[in-house]
Amino acid sequence: MHIFIFFSILITLAAVFAYINVRFFKLPLGILFITMGAIISLALMTAGHLFPSFTQLIKQKLSSIDFSEFLLGIVLSFLLFAGSLRLNLIQIKASAKSITVFATVGVLISTFLIGTLAFYLLHLFKLDVPYINCLLFGALISPTDPVAVLSIFKEAKIPDSIKIKIEGESLFNDGIGIVAFVTIMQVAGNGIENLNFSSVLFLFLREAVGGIIAGFIIGYIGYRLVRSIDHFQTEILITLAMVMGGYSLCHFLHVSGPLAMVVAGLITGNKSLEEAMSDTTRDYTEKFWEITDEILNAILFILIGLQLVIISFQFNLLIIGLIMAILLILVRYISLWLPAFSFFFKKDLKDKTLEIMTWGGLRGGISIALALSLPQSMYKEFFVPVTFVIVLFSIIVQGFTMKWFVKKLS
């Protein structure tokens, strides 16, 4: 019952924040919810000096929720499916080369650059962390978060040709980032001296390629089912089963569930909605997934802000986090420019595309969830606070200034 009450409070807070925002501020909801969550956390920590028992109770309730499992095991499947449902497959195909290269080569370049920078920066602050663990940090912080990106970009006036690249890349690169994270974690767990390149490559390909294939199968089965009937309640239920059943199946098969949900969502949005559903069913389905997306986004962003209550910050880790947040912007640009130049499509990108993609490369809940999933033996106490600082900087600073940045470039 206490979990129900806790989530009831989160929904109530989300409703209050959303009302105030629509009435007065009109900010992107992602920025609003995480900012309000952070403000509430700071208020609770301040109140802890006066009412320590109350603050301790809040910490216990927050600690009872496994944020990593909540996001990666439950919420992420819904958000990725809902996000990819809205993307135009024709536009995706037109930008397929850049999206694919940015989401794969770009993420791997970013992982090694950030891992190397983190290694030297941590040692500069007298924190002895092995290089393989710094690469693990690079993998968890490299992918841009589709939840944050899609939430904030709904209201940013960005050219469609650039917007589709950022949204498409963010949906695919978080799947690749999670695969890279799992792969490097296995190497770190087994010891780098026992590194077997063929087994690592097999693990990476099984997760990535297997996830894409699974997504095609899930999407196609869903298409065939909804095409054979005309009953909007059942058809919506089928899409829900595709997400929950499909994601669970991917977990059982050890293939990438996030990549599968992106592919299944693309097929559903561009095939099932357009060809297999009546106008009534299409309208209900789009509205169902839109409201599901908004509600889960609200809960997720408020939870991110509230995590401040239970995360222990040391001053040196706060400074490291701020430095890494700034370095991450530079690394983001390099990890976009280098593949674009190397694969000969930089000249095809419109002017200022890389700059907008760099500033719009937001980090969010996925990075925090991956950091929280680290075992204590892999320097979790260092990487969680640093990751949290980077995410807050990314969403609040870059998110708040996105409209201004685009206008300035224009």
Q: Name the residue ranges covered by the structural domains of the chain.
A: 67-409
The residue count for the chain: 410
pLDDT at 301: 85
At a CB cut-off of 8 Å and minimum separation 6, what does 231 contact? Answer: 281
pLDDT at 221: 96
- Residue 59 is encoded by which pair of tokens? 């910490």
Low-confidence ranges of the chain (pLDDT < 50): none
CA distance 73 to 88: 27
pLDDT at 242: 96
pLDDT at 155: 63
User: CA-CA-CA-CA torsion for 124, 325, 321, 112, nearest 10 degrees?
Assistant: -60
At a CB cut-off of 8 Å and minimum separation 6, what does 239 contact? Answer: 81, 222, 226, 268, 272, 285, 288, 289
Q: How does DSSP classify residue 144?
A: P
CB 405 within 8 A of CB 162: no
Question: What's the N-to-C CA distance of the chain in angstroms?
Answer: 52
Q: How does DSSP classify residue 267?
A: H
CA distance 98 to 104: 10
pLDDT at 265: 95
At a CB cut-off of 8 Å and minimum separation 6, what does 397 contact? Answer: 325
CA distance 236 to 167: 24
Asked if the 67-409 domain carries CATH number 3.40.50.300, the reply is: no
SS3 of residue 313 by DSSP: coil
CA distance 17 to 37: 10
pTM over 0.85: yes
Closest CA to 143 of 390, 399, 409: 390
- Amino acid residing at 78: F
pLDDT at 222: 96
Buried b (16+ CB within 10 A) or exposed e, 375-403: eeebbeebbbbbbbbbbbbbbbebbeebe
CA distance 208 to 187: 17
pLDDT at 192: 67
* φ, ψ for residue 225, nearest 5 deg: -70, -50
CB 373 within 8 A of CB 68: yes
